[in-house]
Amino acid sequence: MPIDSQLISLFLLFIISALFSVILAGLAVVVAPSNDDMEKSSSYECGFEPFDNARAKFDIHFYLVAILFIIFDLEIILLFPWCLTAGYLSVFGMWSMIIFLVLLTVGFIYEWTKGALTWK
């Protein structure tokens, strides 16, 4: 049974990416200077104490930023299948995606001018 060449390239991708990330992480441990203190080595979670009273009040701005991030994240989900099939689509498919991006841009301008992205 002949091995598919595409699968070999996929295998190589896995090997190289694993090696690359191990090398980078290892270099960070070996080369980079490290002087730990209490604040640095404590776990970090959106600027909150990770183990605290659950009823504590905090800024709703976190949610806003997260939701705005998710909107643009989901846009990518729509863009990927479009990219893969862009060659087969007619001019109609191209303009549909451009309309979608224009809509997103208008929304982005709105949220920017509304001040949703500035941290007060």
Partner 1 sequence: MLKFKKLYNILPLFDWDVYNLKFIIPEIFLFTSLLLLLLYGSLHFRTTKTFSNVEFTAKILLIIFGLTFLLLIENHDNEMHKFLFNQMLAVENFSTTLKIFVILLTAMLVIISYSYAIRNNFTEYEYIIFLGFTTGGMFLILSSFDFMTLLVAIEILSFGLYTLAMIKKQSSLAAEAGIKYLIIGALTTGMYAYGASLFYWYLQSTNFFVLQLHLFNEKYFSLVSLVDLIAKGHTNLLIGIILMVTLLLFKVAAAPFHGWSPDVYEGVPLFVTAYYAVVVKFVMLFTLIKIMYFVLKDFLPILQPGLQALAIASLLIGSIGAVTQNRLKRLFAYSSISHVGYILIGISANSDEGLAASLLYVLVYTVTNTILFMFLLNSDYKNMNSNDTHRVVEIADLAKIGKTHPFFSSLFVVSLLSFAGIPPFAGFFVKLKIFFVAVSAGLYPVVVIAVIASAISCFYYLKLIKAMFFVNLPGTFRLIDVKSTQLSVILWPVLFLTLFIFYSHSVNTALMECALSYFDVFHLCQ
Residue 107 neighbours by CB under 8 Å, 6+ apart: 71
Pick 83 or 109: Cβ nearer partner 1: 109
With binding defined as CB under 8 A, does residue 89 bind partner 1? no
The tokens 């001040």 sit on which residue?
Answer: 115
Task: Residue 47: name the closest of 38, 55, 39, 37 by CA.
Answer: 39
103 binds partner 1 (CB under 8 A): yes
Stretch that binds partner 1, among 21-29, 31-39, 67-75, 106-114 (CB under 8 A): 106-114
Interface with partner 1, residue 114, by CB under 8 A: yes
> From the CA atom positions of the chain, what is the Rg in Å?
23
| Contact region with partner 1 (CB under 8 A), list: 6-14, 65-73, 77-85, 109-117 | 109-117
Cβ proximity of 81 and 97 under 8 Å: no
Residues forming contacts to partner 1 in the complex (CB under 8 A) are 91-92, 95, 102-103, 106, 109-110, 113-114
